Amino acid sequence: MLLLDGLKLLSNIALAAPWRLSRRTFKVAIVGAGGGIGQPLSLLLRSGPGIKELALHDLVEMKGIATDLSHVSKSGMVTSFSGENMLEPAVSCADLVVVAAGMPRLPGMQRDQLMAANGQVAVKVATAVSVACPEALLAFITNPVNMIVPAAAEVLKVNGIYDPCRLFGITTLDVVRSEKFIGDFMKISPDNVKIPVIGGHAGITILPLFSQCQPEFHGDKAVIKEMTHRIQEAGTEVVKAKAGKGSATLSMAFAGARFVDSLLRGLKGEKGIVECAYVASELTDAPFFASPLELGKDGIERFLPLPTMSSTEEEAVAKLIPVVQENAKEGIDFARKCL
């Protein structure tokens, strides 16, 4: 009797409110999956749970990489799409589109200088998403993130499907680097370090909030200054070390996979998932700003308020806001010229 009642209750819930039943697996499309970031990112995503289809897109032939990844003993399938005309089929009905396509920096270059080469990636992907998966979450790794995200937002807006809660610039690598450098300095595991990194993803716009570090950061002001500078210039450190062979790929893939995992956990309905990302924001005078966000079934569930900062951090925010404002304007202008 009890069992029957239970079964009846379950079927009533399913019939009366099927939308209440959380989905557990998703289609994730990676644009630029054949590149230096795309390949390790795809491997890390294959190793994790929750993906029923991993759709790999690139301009080059993707069959080999897709076949290779499809032998990893995890559930879910891997599909491959090559060439510009296969972008729409690749992202079709995706729940999440992650974009790693584009040119990397060379030594001596600033991220901004990549807009001429990579701006089109934002426009093309946002156009494909508008047609083929307008409800998907869209997350960009492609630099310059500070301009690419506003450019994509403009395309989505013009196409009438813009939802600011579904568009992200991935800044997780700044958090990952902060955790590692702080963990090493404090002689603790980076796994035990928590620190928000706000602003944007280039130079002084990357602002780790040492005042909010958990556990409390023990270095003095000089150490904080030095470490902040190292975090802000960590991308350049990799570009220099690679000496003309590109920028961070493996650590970026690690960070990207962590952010994707959080987005998927949010989509599944898990509560309390917080990540920093560069998104449309009303927290400051900048139209796009990176800050801690609670993620959920529709992307951004809630903006965490900016914490009370040290006076040095407040000064740094005041300095970075005009930079991200200008970056956003350049991104939007770029998109408008393309449309």
Give min distance, CB of 86 to ligand LMR, in A.
26
Q: Name the catalytic one among 57, 71, 201, 229.
A: 201
Residues contacting residue 160 through CB under 8 Å, at least 6 positions apart: 130
CA dihedral 262, 268, 270, 272 (to 10 degrees): 40
Nearest CB to ligand LMR, comparing residues 156 and 248: 248
- Name the E strands within 47-119: 51-58, 77-82, 96-99
What backbone phi and psi angles, to 5 degrees, belong to 89? -60, -35
> Angle 221-232/311-338 helices, nearest 10 degrees?
10
258 in a labelled binding site? no
Q: Which residue is nearest to ligand LMR (CB)?
A: 235
Q: Does 111 sit near ligand LMR (CB under 6 A)? A: yes
Q: How far is the CB of 235 from ligand LMR (least distance, A)?
A: 2
Q: Which is nearer to ligand LMR, 86 or 204 (CB)?
A: 204
* Residue with Cβ nearer ligand LMR (13 or 241): 241
Q: Is the peptide bond before 190 cis (omega within 30 degrees of 0)?
A: no
Residues numbered 127 to 186 that lie near ligand LMR (CB under 6 A) are 143, 173
Return the closest-CA partner of residue 220 out of 228, 231, 308: 228
Minimal distance, residue 18 CB to ligand LMR, in Å: 41
Using CB under 6 A, pick the residue from 66, 125, 133, 238 that binds ligand LMR: 238
- Residue closer to ligand LMR by CB (options 254, 303) is 254
Nearer to ligand LMR, 80 or 247 (CB): 247
Angle ∠(100,114,238) on CA atoms, nearest 5: 70
Nearer Cβ to ligand LMR (61/237): 237
Indicate if 201 belongs to the active site: yes
Per the annotation, does 161 bind a ligand?
A: no
The residue whose two tokens read 């903006």 is 303
**276 touches ligand LMR (CB under 6 A):** no
Residue 252 assigned as binding residue: yes
Residue 48 CB, nearest approach to ligand LMR (Å): 22
Residue 105 sits in the site that holds ligand LMR (CB under 6 A) = yes
55: closest CA among 13, 86, 14, 11?
Answer: 86
Nearest distance from C-beta of residue 71 to ligand LMR, angstroms: 30
Cβ atoms 337, 299 nearer than 8 A? no
Task: Provide the token pair at 58.
Answer: 């690139």
Using CB under 6 A, pick the residue from 195, 248, 260, 316 that binds ligand LMR. Answer: 248
Beta carbon of residue 270, minimum distance to ligand LMR (angstroms, whole number): 28
Residue 239 lies near ligand LMR (rule: CB under 6 A): yes
Side-chain-side CA neighbours of residue 196 (13 Å): 24
Contact in structure between 195 and 182 (CB atoms under 8 Å): yes
Is there a binding annotation on residue 37?
Answer: yes
DSSP of 23-66, one letter per residue? P--EEEEEETTTSTTHHHHHHHHHHSSSEEEEEEEESS--HHHH
Which positions touch ligand LMR (CB under 6 A)? 105, 111, 143, 173, 235, 238-239, 247-248, 252
> Among all residues, which ones are annotated catalytic?
201
Q: Show binding-site residues.
A: 32-38, 58, 105, 111, 118, 141-143, 177, 252
